[in-house]
């Protein structure tokens, strides 16, 4: 019995010790940055935006001469008032660079860091700059 209680307490302690995912706050009509895996709330509108992943990064690396600048495609999840998430795929140099979600326009303003020759960008390094406006 004592070992069962001890095991239970260890499990509870490990769950409580897990980092809590914090939600960053942003404002309507203002640019904000969001990292892959991060969530941003526009509290005044009841919007929640999550940066799920990078679907594509074909940008020309710094110091390399390319025929085309390339493109980054980001995958975002957006919801309002805790409803079901909608997936948006936005691009830096192809359409769509912005997308409608309910009465809002979600725009990908930029992405960082820039690619460098022979140095892959780690998933955790990507930061998207977004702006959400009312349509």
DSSP character at residue 32: E
Residue 39 vs residue 15, higher pLDDT: 39
Distances, alpha carbon 77 to alpha carbons 49, 68, 82, 132, in Å: 6, 29, 12, 13
Dump pLDDT digits (tens) for 2-17: 444 444 434 444 444 4
pLDDT of residue 82: 82
Domain ranges for the chain: 21-134
Fold of 21-134: Tick-borne Encephalitis virus Glycoprotein; domain 1 (2.60.98)
Spatial CA neighbour of 76 closest among 129, 134, 133: 129
- pTM for the complete prediction? 0.81
pLDDT in tens, 116-131: 999 999 999 999 999 9
3-state secondary structure at position 8? helix
Q: What is d(CA 16, CA 18) in angstroms, rounded to the nearest whole number?
A: 5
């Amino acid at each position: 019995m004592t070992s069962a209680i001890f095991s239970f307490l260890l499990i509870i302690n490990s769950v409580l010790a897990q980092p809590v995912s914090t939600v960053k706050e942003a404002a309507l009509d203002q640019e904000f940055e969001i990292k892959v895996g991060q969530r941003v709330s526009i509290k005044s509108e009841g919007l929640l935006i999550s940066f799920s992943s990078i679907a594509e990064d074909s940008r020309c690396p710094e110091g390399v001469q390319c025929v085309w600048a390339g493109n980054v495609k980001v995958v975002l999840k957006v919801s309002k008032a805790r409803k079901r998430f909608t997936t948006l795929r936005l691009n830096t140099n192809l359409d769509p660079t912005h997308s409608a979600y309910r009465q809002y326009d979600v725009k990908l303003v930029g992405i960082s860091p820039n690619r460098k020759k022979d140095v892959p960008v780690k998933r955790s390094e990507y930061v998207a700059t977004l702006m959400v406006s009312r349509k």
